[in-house]
Structure 1
Amino acid sequence: MARLTDVPADVLSLLLDYLTSYDYNALVRVSTRFNHDVVPRLYRHLKFTATKSRGCARSLAFLLRTLLERPQLASHIHSFKLRGPLPCWTKYNPWPPEDSSKRISGPKLWGLEDCTTLSRAQKIFASNQFYSLVDESMHKSQDQFKGRNKDALATLVLTRCYELTTLDLGDGFLMYSIFLPQILKRADHLFPKLNNVVLGDKRFDPDNSLSYINLDLIRPIYYSPSVTTFEYTMSQPWQLNWNRPSPPRSESLTTLHLFRTNINRSTLEQLLCATPHLKRLHYDQEVLFNNSSQGPPLLAQFLNLDGLNIALANLQNTLEECKLTLNMAADSLSPTELLENGLHFPGIQGTLSVLHNFPRLQKVEVPAVMFLGWAPEFAAELKEVLPPMITDLTLRDDFISYCQWSVGFNCYKKVGRISEYLEQRAFSAKMLSCFGIRLQNRAADTWLRDAVKDLGMPLGGRGVRHELKKERRAEVHCWHFGKGEGERDTRKDSIIPGMFPST
């Protein structure tokens, strides 16, 4: 009878790729051969999510200690992820009160003095390591290091991850760690293979929101010769004065995702000007507007599309994919609450026209109001603002519920611009293969939903396939346009002339 251990190495490697971490935990105990093959996979993608318990904090500390004591395990790590809100890092010490009596006398060592799982020799070694990994101003022990054993252990482990390619750290650890900026400043020689960095939680947590990021977390990415993908939260009260020792210029960065951000157009231009080879940009913007928020003049810098056009122009020759979103920040007033308070949301000024001149841009997902305009009496022709080589286009309904044209006949006039574009796609968008309209699940937008449904009726026929994609809080109406002889007829006659009266 054939045994699993007799399986050829190449076949076994393929089989192991389909297993989970739970399977790996079981297999490492089966035999020496399995242990040798499985251990690198067991530690390849290390992810730990802290929870509100001392047991979880202790488990994390033991895991980090294991990686310190057995550095060969850390060499297997390709992705390192630490998640969990701030209280999970600050409130829950991994060592119970009774262990506090076992402290080793001597100077404070970078927050490791309370870490009972480390021997005295290991503490001294850890301390010496930190002296070479932090700025001189941090060499003297201070009260700020007290109780930061998880922070110190995590950053020490990071320095052992020579094969690291992905670093993903949530808001909780970013707000807690004082050592991480020091490590990232030395990332070039610590992590020579690092290519993907994610800083921050994309899901908003109002109780643990990150209102400030140390600039030393951002600056190293723009000087890195290896990082190709960077995703991070970015809020601004600070100024982006980072021209030290020379202006930043990332020759390697090809993907940039700015999520949950309120940075102004000037700062955005600085970031994009430093990425001459950027191919993919995702820019998720949140705007706060309520009774106590800043007035329209101060919001103008976020809502004026002229500034956005200027910033995006830096990517004209390289950008291939662009995704822009608009959202109201937490504590903002809803459209109904705005009316009840006698307020009107300041309109978005201008049109996103710069994309028309992007020769490589193929995938676009943007709010429809950036193309169709805010005022009821105006809507740009989509063929004049969209790139000619576009293949995938999705228009979002972000902020439409705050527009005056979101109801009534004006809504159909705006959608008429979309129908015109699709009718003429054989000439203005020859490569278009998929068009979609994303609608959020809001009961108030019945006019827009009806207009989109009416748009779908004349789009049916040979070479056109409709698909309704369900998302968590939205639905996307998609039309896929076929290829070949049948498509030629569909492109010319897919829209009934006069079905949607445009402006």
Structure 2
Amino acid sequence: MAKVSDLPVDVFSIILEYLGRHDYHDVIRASKSFYKEALPYLYRDIKFEATKSRSCARKLALLLRTVLERPQLTSYVRIFRLRGPLPYWTKYNPWPEDAKVGPASVNLWGLKGCTTLSNAQKIFASNQIFSFVDESMHKETEQFKNRSKDALATLVLTRFTELRTLDLGDGFLMHSLFLPQILKRADRLFPKLDHVALGDKRFDPENPVSYMDLDLIRPIFYSDTVRTFEYLMTQPWQLTWNRPAPPRSESLTMLRLFRTNITRGTLDQLLHATPHLKRFHYDQEILFNANTPTAPPLSPYLNLDGLNIALANLKNTLEECKLSLSLAPGSLSSAEIKLQGLQFPPMQGTLAVLKDMQHLVTVEVPMMQFLGWAPDFAASLSEVLPWGIRRLTLRDDFLLHCPWATGPAMVKKIGRIAEYLEGRGVHAPQLSQCEIRIKPSAKDSTWLEDGIRDVGMPMAGSNVVFGVEKEKRADVWRWRFGEGIGKERDLRIDSAMVMRKSFYLPLEGIRLG
């Protein structure tokens, strides 16, 4: 009988690709040969998720010490993820205070009291950190006290010469004094770094990050290797942008700004520095409550001229554009807004800049940015969307707070969608899919669903399939276009879509009612 150990190395490597981290722990204990083959997979993707405990902080310190004391492991690391909100990194010190540890004459960069390292190791580590920071930080100050996790993590990072992905959460970003220094030297330290994500995507309202060193941002736009960048920032940005010279990233092709409230001017700076950007995702938050129904904080979002100007930087390269709007923490809930009779002021202008983007094929935007908030305005979609578009998604962001939720205004605006789909052969011949996403919060009123259904269900045919698919966070009303696509209907009856309570009906065309 053949044994696993008899498998060719290339076959065993393929098997290892499909195993998880717990499996790798079991494999490396099986035999010496298995240990040698599986060890690179165990350390290829290092992910540490902070939890609210002292033991968690200690486990992180021990993980970092292991990598520090066994430098051969660093050549295996391709992805390094250090996640978790602020208090989980700073509240719990993994080592007891020991004021007697370490000679006072040596700059230990926050490693005083770090009992997992010997005195000699701490001095050696401190000397290494010294070589990676600006001269202004060479004198030890009070701010370095108890920065042991920061110092160890920073030193470990400098060893990851094969690193491709760096993903750091709010907690470590806030805690780290040294990370901006490392990112300024990223091209030298991480010559293969391709993807950077800074900030936690899951917002923690109890622990908002009020300040981050903005030097975390600027180096990315000077990098020669980083192609995709994701950044969370809930505070206004104030960048010293032109220091030492205006940045220009020739490598960045994807930028995602999520949960941010930067100004249109700052957005223009960022996009002006990315002449080869192909994918842009921009998630914006608006503070709206009884004190701000018509206040200045709303103006950047209501006037689309600034957004059009910023996006114009990408007119020759952009292939995918995804925009969203949501209420920021501290805003009134949908029920409170309705109870108090508040309404958003009219949106000014329309998102017309997309029309002339010759390479743009995927668009996901709030339909408000095309159809407006004012009852008497609704742009023709053929005048704001590019000829070569293939996938269109219209979001229902803020529709529940609009004055055109019912009546003739609603018919006019939904009619614009019908007109566009009906005439797609002329102004969007490559369109293969159109979606309208309706979040569960819209279930209290069915006017939008009724309007979409009236557009999508009047006729049957062989080149259009229309239906709704229920997802976790939204119901997706979808049209699919193409020759013979209606023949798929019978196959879908037994498909997973039906199991998800979806329905699809074939349509030949769209007619205005």
TM-score for the superposition, normalised by structure 1: 0.94
Tell which deviates more after alignment, 125-134 or 107-116: 107-116
Residue equivalent to 1:103? 101
Tell me whether 1:483 sits opposite 2:498 in the alignment. Answer: no
Counterpart-to-counterpart distance in 2, 1:2 and 1:238? 62
Tell me whether 1:32 sits opposite 2:47 in the alignment. Answer: no
Amino-acid identity (%): 62
Structure 1 pair 344/467, CA: closer, same or farther in 2 (3 Å)?
closer
Residue equivalent to 1:454? 454
Counterpart-to-counterpart distance in 2, 1:69 and 1:399? 53
DSSP 3-state at the match of 1:75: helix
Residue equivalent to 2:496? none
Counterpart-to-counterpart distance in 1, 2:343 and 2:373? 13
Question: CA shift at 1:292, angstroms?
Answer: 3.8
Question: CA shift at 1:145, angstroms?
Answer: 1.2
Structure 1 pair 492/88, CA: closer, same or farther in 2 (3 Å)?
closer
Q: What do residues 87-118 of structure 1 show as CA deviations (whole Å, max 9, x unaligned)? A: 11111111246xx3773444451111111111
> Which blocks of at least 5 consecutive residues in structure 2 are unaligned?
488-504
Q: How does 1:258-337 map to 2 (within 5 A)?
A: 258-293=257-292, 295-337=294-336
Residue equivalent to 1:62? 62
Counterpart-to-counterpart distance in 1, 2:292 and 2:141? 38
Residue equivalent to 1:88? 88
Equivalent AA in structure 2 for residue 31 of structure 1: S
Structure 1 pair 41/486, CA: closer, same or farther in 2 (3 Å)?
closer
DSSP 3-state at the match of 2:342: coil
Equivalent AA in structure 2 for residue 124 of structure 1: I
Question: CA shift at 1:241, angstroms?
Answer: 2.5
Equivalent AA in structure 2 for residue 440 of structure 1: K
Counterpart-to-counterpart distance in 1, 2:482 and 2:81? 42
Structure 1 pair 307/62, CA: closer, same or farther in 2 (3 Å)?
same
Q: What do residues 48-106 of structure 1 show as CA deviations (whole Å, max 9, x unaligned)? A: 01111111111111110000000110111101000111111111111246xx3773444
DSSP 3-state at the match of 1:208: coil
Q: What do residues 151-201 of structure 1 show as CA deviations (whole Å, max 9, x unaligned)? A: 111111000000001000011111111111111111110001001000011
Question: CA shift at 1:463, angstroms?
Answer: 2.3
Question: CA shift at 1:356, angstroms?
Answer: 0.7
Residue equivalent to 1:421? 420
Residue equivalent to 2:509? 494
DSSP 3-state at the match of 2:56: helix
Whether the 8 Å contact between 1:423 and 1:491 is mirrored in structure 2 is no
Whether the 8 Å contact between 2:90 and 2:175 is mirrored in structure 1 is yes
Q: What do residues 35-54 of structure 1 show as CA deviations (whole Å, max 9, x unaligned)? A: 11111110001000111111
Tell me whether 1:338 sits opposite 2:332 in the alignment. Answer: no
Question: CA shift at 1:262, angstroms?
Answer: 0.6
Tell which deviates more after alignment, 297-306 or 41-50: 297-306
Counterpart-to-counterpart distance in 2, 1:104 and 1:243? 41
Counterpart-to-counterpart distance in 1, 2:395 and 2:378? 16
Whether the 8 Å contact between 1:425 and 1:491 is mirrored in structure 2 is no
Q: What do residues 386-439 of structure 1 show as CA deviations (whole Å, max 9, x unaligned)? A: 011000000000011111102234222211110111001111110000110000
Q: How does 1:18-417 map to 2 (within 5 A)?
A: 18-96=18-96, 100=98, 103-106=101-104, 107-293=106-292, 295-341=294-340, 343-417=342-416
Whether the 8 Å contact between 1:438 and 1:475 is mirrored in structure 2 is yes
Question: CA shift at 1:296, angstroms?
Answer: 2.8
Structure 1 pair 345/41, CA: closer, same or farther in 2 (3 Å)?
same
Equivalent AA in structure 2 for residue 257 of structure 1: R
> Which blocks of at least 5 consecutive residues in structure 1 are unaligned?
none
DSSP 3-state at the match of 1:430: coil
Structure 1 pair 289/399, CA: closer, same or farther in 2 (3 Å)?
same
Tell which deviates more after alignment, 68-77 or 239-248: 239-248
DSSP 3-state at the match of 1:162: coil
Counterpart-to-counterpart distance in 1, 2:418 and 2:384? 15
Residue equivalent to 1:7? 7
Q: How does 1:458-469 map to 2 (within 5 A)?
A: 458=458, 460-469=460-469
Question: CA shift at 1:348, angstroms?
Answer: 1.6
Whether the 8 Å contact between 2:438 and 2:475 is mirrored in structure 1 is yes
Counterpart-to-counterpart distance in 1, 2:237 and 2:371? 33
Whether the 8 Å contact between 2:233 and 2:258 is mirrored in structure 1 is yes
Equivalent AA in structure 2 for residue 67 of structure 1: V
Structure 1 pair 473/294, CA: closer, same or farther in 2 (3 Å)?
same
Structure 1 pair 5/259, CA: closer, same or farther in 2 (3 Å)?
same
Residue equivalent to 2:429? 430
Structure 1 pair 188/88, CA: closer, same or farther in 2 (3 Å)?
same
Question: CA shift at 1:239, angstroms?
Answer: 2.5
Whether the 8 Å contact between 1:285 and 1:327 is mirrored in structure 2 is yes
Whether the 8 Å contact between 2:174 and 2:209 is mirrored in structure 1 is yes
Whether the 8 Å contact between 2:354 and 2:386 is mirrored in structure 1 is yes
Counterpart-to-counterpart distance in 1, 2:285 and 2:237? 17
Equivalent AA in structure 2 for residue 18 of structure 1: Y
Tell which deviates more after alignment, 387-396 or 477-486: 477-486
TM-score for the superposition, normalised by structure 2: 0.92
Counterpart-to-counterpart distance in 1, 2:278 and 2:172? 29
DSSP 3-state at the match of 1:133: coil
Question: CA shift at 1:334, angstroms?
Answer: 3.1
Report the aligned-residue RMSD. Answer: 2.0
Counterpart-to-counterpart distance in 1, 2:122 and 2:72? 19
Q: What do residues 311-340 of structure 1 show as CA deviations (whole Å, max 9, x unaligned)? A: 101100000000000001112123442354
Counterpart-to-counterpart distance in 1, 2:459 and 2:146? 64
Question: CA shift at 1:444, angstroms?
Answer: 3.2
